[in-house]
Structure 1
């Protein structure tokens, strides 16, 4: 099976047709550069879409070859609890396939390299400022899984972003131990990441907005955005059959309704870990895989937050009391 992890962005209801870009070809040909840039939407005339994009875009940033999405700032320190895809981090970087957490009070897992979030003043330009990125928890990963064969149900991990920042420069650059004395400064004009309910469950037929950072930095230096429709479980199962008939590898992977949802959309390289949000700005999931064969249905597979949350809760409940004390300050607001 040759699976295709996405690193992509949604594209459907904006009415634009593009060819998808495989992960080993990070630069999108000019003929395919039709996925809307964030600035295209913000400079457009759709005020509802502009309003929604402004509500969510500050919490989606770049992470290495992909993206990451700040789920919440409702922890004890007001830092950014983010979600990204395991294949964006690179699963060979974990020292165990078993679920584990990192004690950020004494262990420095941080790095600045290619880690960015939008400026706190709401500017469009991502600029050259790097933010500290601290992996916090990853969950069980199958022994035979690779970065390209990970299934949505195990293709996610959690991390923390604090206020340490530095200009881009020679790599690697490492931050100090995570700073808990000051809440994360974030462009979040409607306090989405502090809302009583920061997330929700995807509803079949609803329109969703997706934000992320393509690998094509030249044409998408400040991210891309699209607007699409969530498929029902029945539609998703039917899409699997159509993908199989079309010869797309996604057709060989059964649809897992408990862990994922499909959005009828196309994609470009670089967007795995990017967030999908409903019309209220609540986070529904992160993008992880997509179809890419010409003539096949265009779908995006996303891990549900409603799946991630109970996985996190089960992991936490299985920890010793001593370990719970180490982890809970960073995740308490979403337990």
Structure 2
């Protein structure tokens, strides 16, 4: 990729994605896009897809390795740095009930997604990617799963699109349900955990939480965000388990005896967990009330968001309308079914678990 004689072309590909990403960061910071709670990652993949369906064929083929570099190495670096947004203190703040709810939602959504994918006879890789995105943290989870599942770029983009669509719907739906009194059967703590445990993106949770509790006087906004971040922490163990299961399946399909196939361990997932521990240590040293108060945290978070935006943009540049047509309507059908599970099943799971602990 960076061999002598090819470094310039690879650098050109990376620079192209970086320029698109800077544009995505700027656009995401505009009042209108902020009001929609669309993160730079989502804006980035949209810009990439626009490019893929307009000027992509004008791109010199020699630049392609640079774009691939963004979808691999830069992506993994971004996932590791994502750990700076979390501390173990966040887990302690919401208690065991929220952790149990998150575990049930994450595991249940992935298993249900795989089963439903088989029932509707859709591509297994797309089904798994869509399930992971719906269960954990939307686009970031899909990106994290991509190196483990080893699927084609357009399948990743399709999975991202589904979680963005339904996550955005939830961001507006939950505040409506709350104001309409439909969630009156829940306490404010239940509403917060329900929101954090079932919405797709961190941005969606923040948007819905702030809409229901603008000043966080009821504790909904803050608790919802922390509950969501606990789901994010589950990304690492989920990726490791996925890697172990997938290699077993590939062994059976290829007829290779157990132990002969190399297991792809997502080491970046361990880096993600290690950073969480480091961040917790730093929070204690600097006596920071929240993760945002840790020195340089805001700067690292900005850099991380930019790196993940580059990865999303690069994925978008490999996603044409024709590839979406090839995927068909099944990924969106699966995402819709998982959405119903999250909204309805999540309500009863959250209420039941919290009542069991009170």
When normalised by structure 2's length, the TM-score is 0.26
When normalised by structure 1's length, the TM-score is 0.27
Which one has a larger percent strand, Structure 1 or Structure 2? 1
Question: Which structure is higher in RCO with an 8 Å CA cutoff and minimum separation 6?
Answer: 2
Determine which structure has more spread, i.e. the larger CA radius of gyration: 2
Which one has a larger percent helix, Structure 1 or Structure 2? 2
